[in-house]
Each structure stands twice: as C-alpha cells, then as structure tokens.
Amino acid sequence: MTQIKSDKNFPTIQNLPKHLGIIMDGNGRWAKLRGKRRIFGHEAGVLKARELVETCVRLRIEALTLYAFSAENWSRPAKEVSGLMKLFEKTIEKYTGLLIDNQVRFKQVGKRTLLPKILQRKLEQMEAITSQNEGLKLTLAIGYGAQQDIIGAVKNIIDDSNQGKIENDAIDESLFSNYLSFNHLPNLDLIIRTSGETRLSNFMLWEAAYSEIHFTETLWPNFEEQEFIEILENFSKSERRYGSIKKEVELKKA
C-alpha cells in the first residue's frame, strides 16, 4: 500500500488552480552539469515528477498535466528518444500501484500510434486500470503538440459538418474545445515552466488563453516543493480578469 499521507504542517492555500500544467525542462542541462549522460537527467526528472504528483494529491489539486515529450522531440537523437521511451515504460510499471492507491486517474495525450507498441499497451492498461478513480486527474503529454492538436480538431469539425452532425452556426469556442485532447479537463489555470526558458513550446496553446504563466530559472530535477508552494501562493493572490476590468469581475462573482 503506497497511500500518500497528509502532513499536518502542510500549508493551506486558498484559490488553488484547478488545472495545473508543467513544462518539465532542464533535465539535459542538469545532467551535463554533473558530467552525466542526458538520460541520467531524465531519470532524475521522473523522480521529481513523482514528488510533484504526491504534492498535488496532498493539496487536492483537481488536474495536473505534465509535458513529458513534445511532437518536436522526435527530432532528437535516436538513442535519446529510445532511452526516453524505455524510461516511460519503466515509470508506468513502477508507479501503477501509487496511482491506484491514491485514486489518481491517468490519461495520455499525444499521437499514440507513433509510440512503441509495448508502450502503447502499457498506457492503455494504465488508463483502463485507473479509469474509475476519483482523485487527481493526471495527464501525461507524450508525442503531443498543440498546433497538431488544433489542426486535428479543425479536420474533425469539417468532417462532422460535412456529415451533417453539427451546424456551422454551432461552432464556437466551447464546441471547438470539445474536439481537443484536453476536453476531459477543466480550464488550464496555471502553467509552470522550469529551466529559464520563457516560451510555451507548443504546449496547450488553445487552453492557455487565460492561464497564468510562471517561468523559473530552476532546472526541473532541482525544482523543490518549497518553490512550488510559493508559486501556488502567488497564484492564489492573483486577480484573474479574463479580459474584463476589476469591477466587471466583481459583478460576475456577486
């Protein structure tokens, strides 16, 4: 039994994000600073991801999406890509029990057919095993790209329109969102990107329309719980206007 226990000293934070997205960047640089191969950094990144999942469970955050492997990452050296695919397989095997015991519901987004067959099967099994869980919704983006996702949605909407399944006048932001990979999750509230890079790198571009975005210089394997908590506390104090002015937001809340 690997149930995550609550900590009496764990801070209480009001207005937590319902959906948190993490661009886990800096594994390679972290390994290079230690004179190690890049895969060593990715292995350290997996351990850090586990820590973050545990913290999100303790905080009762509704949804967490981890950007693990982008559509563009296929252009990396074949040896690194192969090592990452094997690491994904091992990670799923190792942490299935943790997700089950803590009611975590798992889903993978991205072009699954490009992944190794054995990894495809393991992802399908993990999704099936955790499909009835009612805790944290953990989504792993592997082989995912927001631009590709949007293009796929457009094509499917055109097909459904041509078949008379939807009326053109019915196409709006809400309907379009239903054709995207993240239609099973609440709106994306906060994105954190580690390693000092200040771009989204094709991550959830549609869903990020009104997201708060935090960039940190910290390399992903060095990202500690204390920094995470501080980011969440700052988020809880932010005033999210969604294009309105303060008075309009207050009226909508009233």
Active site residue ranges = 25, 73
In three-state secondary structure terms, 241 is coil
Decide if 36 contacts 111 (C-beta within 8 A).
no
Residue 139 DSSP symbol = E
Burial of 169 (0-12, 13-18, 19+ CB in 10 A): exposed
Alpha carbon distance 171, 1 (integer Å): 47
Q: How far apart are CA 26 and CA 38, in angstroms?
A: 10
- Distance, in Å, from the CA atom of 115 to the CA atom of 203, rounded to the nearest integer, reads 19
Which tokens hold the place of 46?
């997996």
- The rounded radius of gyration (Å) of the Cα atoms in the chain is 19
Structure tokens at 16: 């937590």
Nearest-angstrom CA–CA distance, 222 and 52: 12
Q: Sheet containing 137-144: which strands, arranged edge to edge?
A: 105-109, 137-144, 63-70, 19-23, 190-193, 212-215
